[in-house]
Amino acid sequence: MTDIPGRVPPRLELCPRCSEHIYAGTNLCPHCGGEVPALLAAREEAIAEALDALQRLEAALALS
Ligand SMILES: [Zn+2]
């Protein structure tokens, strides 16, 4: 088994807009040209809103 220093496999993520593989830390998606940090932030916000809505729904159901 040989270890080659500096040859770490690149981490890949999925573009939040087009779902193509992009390198982790990429700022501009090479496939759709989307700004990855902004898209990730928007997705986080949407998930947080969905969780908030779910919690309010669960609270409303618990009261009935
Ligand atoms: Zn993309």
On whether residue 27 sits in a domain, the answer given is yes
- Provide the percentage of residues in the chain whose pLDDT is more than 90: 77
Alpha helix ranges (H) inside the chain: 36-63
DSSP 8-state assignment for residue 31: T
38 part of a folded domain: yes
Q: Is residue 28 part of a domain?
A: yes
Distance from Cα 21 to the centre of ligand 1, integer Å: 8
pLDDT (tens digit per residue) in 4-17: 677 777 789 999 99
Number of domains observed in the structure of the chain: 1
In the reported structure, the alpha carbon of residue 6 is separated from the centroid of ligand 1 by a whole-number distance in angstroms of 27
Q: Please tell me the predicted confidence (pLDDT) of residue 48.
A: 98
Residue 21 lies in a domain: yes
What is the span of the domain harbouring residue 27? 12-63
Question: What pLDDT, in 10s, does the model give residues 15-49?
Answer: 999 999 999 989 999 999 999 999 999 999 999 99
Question: Separation of 55 CA from ligand 1 center, angstroms?
Answer: 31
Q: Report the DSSP pairing between strands 12-14 and 21-23.
A: antiparallel
